[in-house]
Amino acid sequence: MKNSMQRRMLAVTALSAVAIIGLAGCGISPGPSADATSPTTDAPVTLNLGWWGSDPRAKATEAAVGAFEKKYPNITVETSYSDWAGYWDRLATQTAGGDAPDVSQMDMTYLSSYASRGILADLGPVKNILDTSTIPKTVLDSGRVDGKLYAAPIGAAANGVVINTSLLDKYGIEIPDTNTWTWDDFNKIALEVTEKSKGAAHGVTPYQNDPFGLQIYARQHGEELWDARGKVTVSPKLVKEYFQTELDWVASGAAPSASQVSDNGGATITERDIATGKTAIFFTAAGAFNGLQAAAPDYKYIIGNWPTDSHTKPGFQYLKPTMYWAISAATEHPSEAALLVNFLINDRRVAKLFGTERGAPASPSLQKVIEPTLTPEGVQALDFSKLMTKEAGPAPAITPNGASGVSAILSRYNDQVLFGQTSPASAAKGFIDELQASIDAAG
C-alpha cells in the first residue's frame, strides 16, 4: 500500500544512493600525474615526509628537516612517522586515497611492489638535482626495478651474528673469534650457555621470519632465495634444512622452547630475548645493532660474521640497503622532493645527525665524516659493515613484486614447524609454493 510520500522517499533514497556510488567510484583512481622535470621555483612549497622508526630516529629526522628548511626557506616539510608494523598498511591506504607523502621511507620488501605499479617516481629525470654518484654501484643497483632507479638507498648493512658478551662472561664462556668460527663452534657455545646457566638463559634465538637471514643461509650453500625474474630459486631441500636446524636447536636446548621462540618473532626490539638477556646469540641486519644496544644498556654486545664450515661458499655476505628514500609518482613538486632526498642522503650535517641509526651511510665519504661522532657500538657496526664489504659477493635480486608478504609467510610455516604441526619437508615445500603463487598472482 504505497502512497506518493513513500514512493517519493524511495526515489530520493535511490537517487542519493546512486549519487554516493558515483562519488565513491571516482575516489578509487589514484593515477600518477606529476611531470618529473618541472623546475624548482622560489614559490612557497609544502612537502610531506613519512618514515617508520622509533623516537631517536624521529628526533634526528626532525632536526635534519629543520636544517633543510633553513637552507631552502621557501620549502616547508610536514613530517609524519609511525612504527614498522602500521607503516605499510598506512602507506597503501594513503596511496589509494591519493594522499601519499611526497617523500617516503621505503624498504626492499615493498620496493618492487610499489615501483612496478607506477606509484614511485623514476629518479632518472631528476638526477641533476638528486646526486647518487657517491653511493657504490652494487648498493645503488638495489634501488633499481627493471633498470630504472626508483629509490635512493640511505644506508647499507650486512647480516651479522650478535653476541651478548656480558652473558658469555657471566657464565665463563670464551668469546669466539667471529672471523674464523665454524658452525660446530657456534653450536658448542650455544649449548654451553644453556648448560652453564642451568636454563636461566639459552644460547640462540633462531632465524625465524627474517628473509634476510634465509637469503644468507641460502647463499652459504650456493643458492639464492629468488632471481630477478621473480622465480623462487631456493630448493626445498635447503629450506627443509633451515627449518630442521631450528628444530635441532630447540630440541638440544640451545634455543628456548617453541612458544618462547615464536613469541620473539613479533616482539619489539626491547622485548626480544636477546635484549632481555634470555638468549645470547641473535641473527640480524647490522643496521639494527645500534637500536639493540640502546634498548639493552646493561649488556654489552658484539656483532660478527656468520660461522662457516668446510662446505660454505665464499662471498655469501652482501650489503643490503637498510632502507631507501622514494618519491611519490603523484607528487606535485618532484623537483623540491628531489632536493629533499638529495639533502637527506648527501648533506654532512644530516649524516652526523643520523649516525648509523638508519644503517651505515651508503656513501664511503659520509662514513668517514660520521666516524668521529659515533658511539662505540656505532663504530662496531660501521667496522663490521666495512669488513663485510671486502668479503661480499654480488648482491642478489631485490624482493620481487608480490613477495612483500615473504616475512609473514615464512613466519607462519616456521611456527607450524616449531609447534610440530608440519614436518620441515612439507613446510619447506609449502613455503616455496605459497611464495611463488603470491609472486605470480601479483599484477
Partner 1 sequence: MSALGELRSLTQRRDSTNRKGKRPRTADNKVAAVFLAPWLIGLLGITVGPMVVSLYLAFTNYNLLQNPTFTGLANIQRMLSDERLAKSLGVTFTYVLVSVPLQLIVALAVAVLLDRGLRGLPLYRSIFYLPSLLGASVAIAVLWRLVFGADGLLNAFLANFGIEGPAWVSNPSTALGTIILLHVWTFGSPMVIFLAGLRQIPREFYEATSVDGASKWRQFTSITLPLLTPIIFFNLVLGIIGSFQSFTQAFIISGGGGGPADSTLFFSLYLYQEGFANFRMGYASALAWLLLLIIGAFTALNFWASKYWVFYDD
Per CB under 8 A, residues contacting partner 1 are 1, 5, 13, 16-17, 20-21, 23-25, 28-31, 85, 88-89, 92-93, 95-96, 113-114, 117-119, 257, 259-260, 262-263, 265-267, 404-405, 408, 411-412, 415-416, 418-419, 421, 438, 442-443
Cα separation, 47 vs 336, whole angstroms: 8
Minimum distance, C-beta of residue 104 to partner 1, in the bound complex (Å): 13
Shorter beta-carbon distance to partner 1: residue 41 or 93: 93
Q: Measured from the CB of residue 17, what is the shortest distance to partner 1 in angstroms?
A: 6
Estimate to the nearest angstrom the gap between the alpha carbon of 67 and the chain centroid: 26
Q: Phi-psi region for residue 441, left (φ > 0), alpha (ψ -120 to 50) or beta? A: alpha
CB of 222 to partner 1, least distance (A): 31
Considering beta carbons, is residue 192 or 415 the nearer one to partner 1? 415
3-state SS, residue 243: helix
State the CB neighbour count (10 A cutoff) for residue 248: 14
Taking the complex as a whole, the smallest distance from the CB of residue 152 to partner 1 amounts, in Å, to 20
Nearest to partner 1 of 3, 128 (CB atom): 3
User: Given the complex with partner 1, which of 228 and 267 has the nearer CB atom?
Assistant: 267
Q: Provide the grid cell at 176.
A: 669466539
Chain mean position to CA 56? 18
Least Å distance between CB 114 and partner 1? 7
Helix/strand/coil for 157: strand
**In the complex, what is the shortest distance from the CB of residue 170 to partner 1, in angstroms, rounded to a whole number?**
20
State the Cα–Cα distance between residues 368 and 134, nearest whole angstrom: 13
- In the bound state with partner 1, the residue whose beta carbon lies nearer, of 179 and 419, is 419
- Between strands 148-149 and 320-327, the pairing is unpaired
* Residue 369 identity (one-letter amino acid): V
* Residue listed under C-alpha cell 654501484: 137
Nearer to partner 1, 208 or 367 (CB): 208
**3-class secondary structure, 397:** coil
Q: Are 293 and 377 in contact (CB under 8 A)?
A: yes
